[in-house]
Amino acid sequence: MTEQMRLMAVHAHPDDESSKGAATMAKYVSEGVDVLVATCTGGERGSILNPKLQGDKYVEEHIHEVRKKEMDEAREILGVKQAWLGFVDSGLPEGDPLPPLPEDCFAVQDVDEAAGRLVKLIREFRPQVITTYDENGGYPHPDHIMTHKITMAAFEAAGDPEKYPEAGPVWQPLKVYYNQGFNRQRTEALHEALLARGLESPYGEWLKRWEKMGRERSLTTYIPCGEFFEIRDKALIAHATQIDPDGGWFRVPMDIQREVWPTEEYELAKSLVATSLPEDDLFAGIREN
């Protein structure tokens, strides 16, 4: 009997799972892979980004409960399992100088202590593959950076019987990836495709910012999942407080997306199995063994 493939996606807030790698997860669910989203915080300090809900007093006063319901809906749409790690959203500090982070928030926790919760979940779920963010968090939100830190610590510790003995029998994941769906290659390809068709592109300012940033991330893994883009978008729209269904996220026609860039991209951060790059499967090197 072939062993069950299991994928864990570790994210900072409810909605991150739907904007980063959602089509990939839906694809693997359709193939019988067991997929679990680990959500580090409840999004309690998140802003209401959908202009249609800004000023809604109920939403403002019950943001935690509202975002939990949104996560439940997105989970059902994607067909994944989901677990809360129970940390408190740090918010996104703004100003010059930046204000201190709240004392109770995720980003100020001790990394080793915080990683223990994820180690327990890894040992219970037993994923062969984990996805998360790079050391910059994908973008420099303190919760995203902390998510990277605890995921990498947990990847190393989950298979060590001397670490977190209270967290259950050890389990060693074999690969960990960084989500890199917002990459320059994809953005340039879609930008040029829109202009070539006489359409307006939402990516002009993005590309200007990339020119200033300099270094590019390494894309090692391209998952073909274009047929699941509608599921991705539906899951993202379920997070109604965080996304405007008429906004820039949805301005590229679906047929152009599928024709020009029908994949989601990852950076292989660590692998304990042999694999050949580039890959088109997060389980490359695992299925064969």
Domains annotated for the chain, with CATH where assigned, are 6-181+219-271 (3.40.50.10320)
Res 131 pLDDT > 50: yes
Beta bridge partners of residue 130, listed in sequence order: 8, 176
Q: What is the pLDDT of residues 55-66, one digit of tens each?
A: 889 988 999 999
| Whole-number pLDDT of residue 215 | 65
The pLDDT of 98-117, averaged and rounded, is: 95
| Whole-number pLDDT of residue 279 | 98
Cα separations in angstroms, 182 against 22, 49, 158, 163, 188: 13, 19, 29, 34, 11
Least confident of 30-39, 119-128, 212-221, 257-266: 212-221
Res 191 pLDDT > 70: yes
| Whole-number pLDDT of residue 23 | 98
Token reading at 174: 């074999």
- Interatomic CA distance for residues 253 and 138, integer angstroms: 25
What letter represents residue 41's amino acid?
A: T
State the sign of the Cα–Cα–Cα–Cα dihedral 266, 268, 272, 277.
positive
| Whole-number pLDDT of residue 60 | 87
Binding site, annotated residues: 13, 16, 144
Res 88 pLDDT > 70: yes
Q: Are β-strands 263-271 and 175-179 bridged in parallel, bridged antiparallel, or unpaired?
A: antiparallel
Helical pair 63-78 and 22-30, crossing angle rounded to 10 deg? 40
Average pLDDT over the chain, rounded to an integer: 94
- Interatomic CA distance for residues 225 and 270, integer angstroms: 23
Q: Compare 51 and 26 and report the one with higher pLDDT.
A: 26
**How many percent of the chain have pLDDT more than 90?**
81
Binding site, annotated residues for Zn(2+): 13, 16, 144
* Cα–Cα nearest to 131, from 243, 46, 225, 35: 35
**How many percent of the chain have pLDDT more than 70?**
98
| Whole-number pLDDT of residue 1 | 37
Q: What is the pLDDT of residues 4-15, one digit of tens each?
A: 999 999 999 999
Token reading at 164: 């977190």
The pLDDT of 120-134, averaged and rounded, is: 98
Token reading at 162: 């001397």
pTM of the model: 0.95
Token reading at 217: 């991330």
